[in-house]
Amino acid sequence: MAAPKRAKARAQPISISRAADPGVGLLNLTVFDGTRNPIQAGTQILLTVRDGFQNQLYREYVSGPKIPLHLPVHNNLGDNYAIILFRPGSEQAGFQPVQISSDVPQTLDLMLLPKDASFHFAQAKWTDILAKRPKLADIFSAGASGKPADAYGSLMEDHPDHLACLLNLTTAMDQILLAQATPLDYFKSLDLDSLAPDRFFGYADAKLVNQVRRAAQEGVFETEPAADLVLHGDATSSFKQVQFGEANVQLTFHENKRKTIAGVDCVYAEPDIDYYKDLGAHAILEVLPNALASGKTDPRMVYLLRWIAGRHAGIPEFDPLYTIE
């Protein structure tokens, strides 16, 4: 197969159609970088478009950040498109399904992260946490053995991936609306010694367990099978958010490990985020091959996937305060 050609800047939408055009739908694609801003105008991006039957309809270099696409509409499963982006020096990104219709223009925002990109915490210093994330400041302070500002500064300096994970998870948890409050509202203290790149541990009001069980009954979470609990040591129950195709929060409880904090009965809790709700359904995107092979959730990939998922769902922007550059 010949190498894809690099395109000149396009003033008109890219038209992708067949000889017998069954109809056309418009997809307005915008490409962002790790600062959550549109990429520089004129940046060349390899765009691949596949229909719902995995027929490759398009694979060429195009100019970003805004890429309008005219796509065939068949009024069947073929209209569930996969949109995949690649740029040399960056990780691949994509989304599926993007449902196209001739009635309503669709929008899709994707993010390209530089390979080996680093975390930038200029807007996530301890003073920012106090001002912008008071819930996190409270539970972090409760878990610090010394001055919270010093513990936070050491975490940023020595384990930036742990801090990124903590900011990812607490930001995502604060966007989940339970019957009463959010999961983050129930946390009382962090176990700072157990922070990891893919999860954190802490003590939460025991009432959170029933709140999440209720959310599972209402279809906001799904109950993880008992066989999966062995992956979490002495866990007694676990629930995974199902709102998005990617980067859903999982809340695992160790209800036999309890502590009373300020008169509140608390259980040991373990939040984490998986890349995909259904890995098999998203494998066609060929996204994150290195990260997936490593077996460890990378907070940079969670940042990318959760931001894309949130934009597609139309919820408030996922803003964990830091950026990736």
Contact 302, 171 (CB under 8 A): no
Say yes or no: 154 and 246 in one domain.
yes
274 and 167 assigned to the same domain: yes
Question: What pLDDT, on the 0 to 100 scale, is given for residue 8?
Answer: 43
Answer whether 98's CB lies under 8 Å from 284's CB: no
**317 shares a domain with 186:** yes
Residues 134, 88: one domain? no
Q: Which of 59-63, 90-94, 227-231 has the lowest mean pLDDT?
A: 227-231
CA 50 → CA 54, 56, 155, 288, distances in Å?
5, 4, 43, 18
Residue 307 lies in a domain: yes
Is 2 contained in some domain?
no
Q: What is the pLDDT of residue 125?
A: 98
Q: Which amino acid is at 152?
A: Y
Residues 187 and 203 in one domain: yes
Q: Are 92 and 231 contained in the same domain?
A: no
pLDDT above 70 coverage of the chain, percent = 88
Is residue 6 assigned to a domain? no
pLDDT digits (tens, 9 = 90+) for 153-177: 999 999 999 999 999 999 999 999 9
Does residue 9 lie in a domain region?
A: no
Range of the domain at 57: 14-111
Instruction: Choose one of 86, 111, 136: the last residue of a domain.
Output: 111
pLDDT at 9: 36
Q: With 80 as the cut, is the pLDDT of residue 135 above it?
A: yes
Let me know whether 141 and 213 are in one domain: yes
Provide the pLDDT for residue 274. Answer: 83
What is the model's pLDDT at position 153? Answer: 98
Question: Does the residue 1 lie in any domain?
Answer: no
Residues 16/19/21/25 CA torsion (nearest 10 deg)? 0
Residue 297: pLDDT band (50, 70, 90) is confident
Q: Are residues 242 and 127 in the same domain?
A: yes
Domains identified in the chain, total number: 2
Cα–Cα dist 243/309, whole Å: 9
From 111, 140, 173, give the residue that closes a domain.
111
Q: Do residue 269 and residue 196 come from a single domain?
A: yes
Residue % of the chain over a pLDDT of 90 = 77
Residue 168 lies inside a defined structural domain of this protein: yes
Q: Are residues 191 and 106 in the same domain?
A: no
Q: Do 125 and 71 share a domain, yes or no?
A: no
CATH number at residue 39: 2.60.130.10
Question: Residue 4 falls within a domain, yes or no?
Answer: no
| Residues 184-201 pLDDT 10s | 999 999 999 999 999 999
Please indicate, yes or no, whether residues 36 and 67 belong to a single structural domain of this protein. Answer: yes
**Looking at 111, 136, 152, which one is the last position of a domain?**
111
- The DSSP symbol for 147 reads -
Q: How confident is the model at residue 275 (pLDDT cuts 50, 70, 90)?
A: confident
Confidence of residue 5 (pLDDT cuts 50, 70, 90): low
Element (H, E) at 131: helix 126-132
Q: Look up residue 2 and give its two tokens.
A: 């010949």
Residue 11: the pLDDT is: 37
> Is the pLDDT confidence value at 278 over 90?
no
Q: Answer whether residue 7 is part of any domain.
A: no
